[in-house]
Amino acid sequence: MFELVREDIKRFISPDNPSYRKLIAGILSPGFEALIVYRFFNWCHRHRIPAQPFRYFIERIVEITTGISIPACCKIGKGLRIHHFGGIILHPAVEIGDNCTLYHEVTIGDIGGHGGAARIGNNVLVGAGAKIIGEVEIGDDCAIGANAVVTKNMPPDFLAYGNPAFYRSKHESGES
């Protein structure tokens, strides 16, 4: 658990600007608060340590104060960064790889109570207001634009934009 938290904290420090101000602001952010609560209760969940009803109470407080809902049974890799305040809802079956970034108002869920949720690769950026719906796979190094609605698998190194989402290779757009 502590190694994962260390990796989460590293996302606040950039090599070209190692500012303590940026680090402190990141650690005090609502997104990091929600992530710390998730990391603790996920550790309890994986080690079969009973944490109810305490977990339920703390998760509701975090949801109310941060607007972020991350169930303890989600599988989230190291270095997750949650930018901005609130509106992030994750399905309990979500799997997120390493070094991903979520902006505000992101929903990753199932199709109206049916099926599972997305498996997201490493180094994926999910823009503000984006929705990833259903049991889809998002490849490594993808970027999902603001307000995109993703309902189909996405190959690695692609961009998604629009509703419903259109996909384009990052190399087609000149981005690297």
Name the band, by pLDDT with cuts 50, 70 and 90, for residue 175: low
Is residue 82 over pLDDT 70? Answer: yes
Sheet holding 75-76, edge to edge: 75-76, 95-96, 119-120, 137-138
Q: For 83-137, how does the pLDDT look when each residue is reduced to its tens digit (9 = 90+)?
A: 887 889 999 999 999 999 999 999 999 888 778 899 999 999 999 999 999 999 9
Q: Quote the distance between the C-alpha of residue 91 and its chain's center.
A: 11
The verdict on residue 176 lying in a domain is no
Kind and range of the H or E run holding 88: strand 88-90
Range of the domain at 135: 2-169
The verdict on residue 175 lying in a domain is no
Question: 37-41, 54-58, 145-149, 171-175: which range is least confident on average?
Answer: 171-175
Q: Are 66 and 24 in contact (CB under 8 A)?
A: no
CATH number of the domain encompassing residue 61: 2.160.10.10
Residue with token string 């680090």? 23
Residue with token string 């009803």? 53
The verdict on residue 174 lying in a domain is no
What's the CA gap between 58 and 70, in Å, rounded?
A: 12
When divided into structural domains, the chain yields a total of 1
The verdict on residue 149 lying in a domain is yes
Radius of gyration for the alpha carbons in the chain, expressed in angstroms and rounded: 16
**6-15, 107-116, 156-165: which is most confident:** 156-165
